[in-house]
Amino acid sequence: MQLTNTIHFKNVQGDIFGGLTAAVIALPMALAFGVASGAGASAGLWGAVLVGFFAALFGGTPTLISEPTGPMTVVMTAVIAHFTASDPENGLAMAFTVVMMAGLFQILFGFLRLGRYITLMPYTVISGFMSGIGIILIILQTAPFLGQASPKGGVVGTIRNLPELLGNINPSETILAAIAVALLYFTPKAVRKVVPPQLISLIVGTVVALIFFHNVDIRVIGEIPMGLPKLHVPVFSASDFRLMLVDSLLLAMLGCIDALLTSLVADSLTRTEHNSDKELIGQGLGNLMSGLFGGIAGAGATMGTVVNIKTGGRTALSGLTRALILFVIVAIAAPLVAPIPLAVLAGIAIKVGIDIVDWSFLKRAHKVSPKAAFIMYGVILLTVFVDLIVAVGVGVFVANILTIERLTKLQSQRVKTITDADDEIILSPTEMQILDRAEGRILLFHLSGPMIFGVSKAIAREHNAIQQYESLVLDLSDVPVLGVTSSLAIENAINEAIEQGRHVFIVGATGSIQRRLEKLGILDKIPTHHLVMQRQEALVRAMELIDIDAGDDVLQTDDTPPSTTPSTTPSTAT
């Protein structure tokens, strides 16, 4: 695996313009997310710089723009709130340590080549999870929008204190926040193509505050230290280590999902294909460095990525350009952001939360599938009011159970026990004649499709339904996958037939199916000449063993003549 992204200079103008535009968009978002997380505007800026730079340099998606995002900020907010409350002196340092640990997890996922599996999650769960995160972000920014500090207790605490927040509203800050949201919604499309509405909201909101509210006490970002960031040595607490581990794993997983889903968007726009595992390593290095230097966690950002591509970005040079521009701003021009009102950033963050909510699927989920709607709404409620990990875990579990149930019902219909020519599977004329003449003394057991564990009940049920037969022909020709549970159900059917002194034939067991039966010792119980590749051959041999005259007409229609030396030894191996 190549360590760094391939950077060429055939598209320098497009990459520089794409990076510049992405930086303009990233500035207000980084400030908003930094303040919203509780780590401060500086942490948001350094997160945008460091995650963006290292993810662009070492990642697997050349056009991906990485920075603090809404979902990552929601998790960071909870992490910082918990650790600063439990340990005011070292809490923030422990939160940055969690970011470093998340980066290490992402690097590990990349080296283990887990990229292709991380996004294998039902859309209902992803939609519910993201919508829940959007709702959390909106709720958490309600207090700053109303001109007040966020109450303790996160989402529940904000909801409980909502009457008090509304009663103590700060009109000046609320007006500024409302102006910011209005500009985000109503900026004309022609203007949006030239200047991002987030930057317009930031500038207009600040100018309005300086001109019309200069005599009013308005909370602002304040001074941001210029120069290079301070190194944060990892800080651990024995009592909180388990929680740190869980939080870092959650951040890592969420960052992976966020980045890889955005990479898919980039692929569709550029008609290229990203390297998932390499991208995880790049994201991990970015978060590791961000936590090490006091930045909040980040991931692939859809908005920045799309803007970067549409304005000409095609290589990692665009992401590096964006990171360097932000570095200059935070290292040299930091005093310029000091007078920005916190209410304006709250308005920007609320708009991000609204955009994260999957409104399109929310409107249609109940029409598409009641079960899908149930999963999605359940995940939303668990995300908002219980826990992010619980929400994803329960959502995936329920979705998989429902999927397995549906597949099991479909596959169970493809388990057939046949004793005559009137059943649903396609039989050749010769096979029909054989079953007709056998008059129920031959049982053809036909399996088709993947035999997942849920099908085992159908195998047992179909086999037990017919007891009076003398030869069992088990047809596995159309089975691509044979699960362990279904294999054991087949073994039980074979064992029962052998114990009753019946003849057993297995048809079409090759490749992985044959190896599975061998490992379970099933093939050792059956004579070698009872293992055949053609169903018709097995039926003819079964007739001969139970002393039924096949007849010349049957033998003449057989394209492949049966063996002329049939065995008369019954299959009674134990």
Which residue in this structure is represented by tokens 């926040």?
177
The answer to which of 62-71, 176-185, 366-375 has the lowest mean pLDDT is 366-375
Amino acid identity for residue 83 in this structure: F
Q: pLDDT tens, 369-401?
A: 888 889 999 999 999 998 877 888 898 888 888
Helix (H, G, I), strand (E, B) or coil at 437: helix
Cβ–Cβ under 8 Å, residues 6 and 299? no
Among the residue ranges 261-270, 398-407, 414-423, 553-562, the one predicted with the least confidence is 553-562
Ranges 203-212, 328-337, 453-462: which has the least confidence: 453-462
Instruction: Inform me whether the pLDDT recorded for 573 exceeds 80.
Output: no
pLDDT reading at 429 higher than 60? yes
Q: Give pLDDT, residue 418.
A: 66
Report the length, in residues, of the chain. 574
Q: Is 299 exposed, middle or buried (0-12, 13-18, 19+ CB in 10 A)?
A: buried
Q: Each residue of 14-69: pLDDT tens digit?
A: 899 899 989 988 999 999 999 999 999 999 999 999 999 999 999 999 999 999 99
* Residue 451 confidence (pLDDT) above 80: no
Using CA atoms, how far apart are residues 288 and 50, in angstroms rounded to an integer?
A: 9
Q: How confident is the model at residue 164 (pLDDT cuts 50, 70, 90)?
A: very high
Residue holding tokens 């961000």?
Answer: 290
Helix axes 123-140, 388-412, angle to 10 degrees: 160
Residue 193 three-state SS? coil
State pLDDT tens for residues 333-347.
Answer: 778 888 999 999 999
Amino acid identity, position 249: L
What are the structural domains, with CATH classification, of the chain?
A: 12-402 (no CATH), 413-556 (3.30.750.24)
> Is the whole model's pTM more than 0.95, yes or no?
no
Q: Is the pLDDT of residue 431 over 60?
A: yes
Average pLDDT over residues 193-202: 87
Describe the strand order of the beta sheet including 531-532 as a list of residue ranges: 415-418, 442-448, 471-478, 503-507, 531-532
Q: Could you tell me the pLDDT band of residue 445, with boundaries at 50, 70 and 90?
A: confident
Structure confidence by residue, pLDDT tens digits, 232-241: 999 998 888 9
At 201, the pLDDT band (50, 70, 90 cuts) reads: very high
Report how far residue 513's alpha carbon sits from residue 60's, in angstroms, rounded to the nearest whole number: 37
User: Among 342-356, 426-440, 554-568, where is mean pLDDT lowest?
Assistant: 554-568
pLDDT of the residue at 549: 57
Q: CB of 128 within 8 A of CB of 383?
A: yes
Residue 564 confidence (pLDDT):
35
To the nearest whole number, what is the mean pLDDT of the chain?
86
Nearest Cα to Cα of residue 72 among 19, 136, 124, 117: 136
Please give the Cα distance from 154 to 140 (Å, whole number): 7
Is the model's pLDDT at 560 over the cut of 60? Answer: no
Residue 297 and residue 42 in contact, taking contact as beta carbons nearer than 8 Å: no
**Residue 382 to residues 256, 362, 377, 528, 535, Cα–Cα distance (Å):** 21, 16, 9, 56, 53
C-alpha 255/C-alpha 252 separation (Å) is: 5
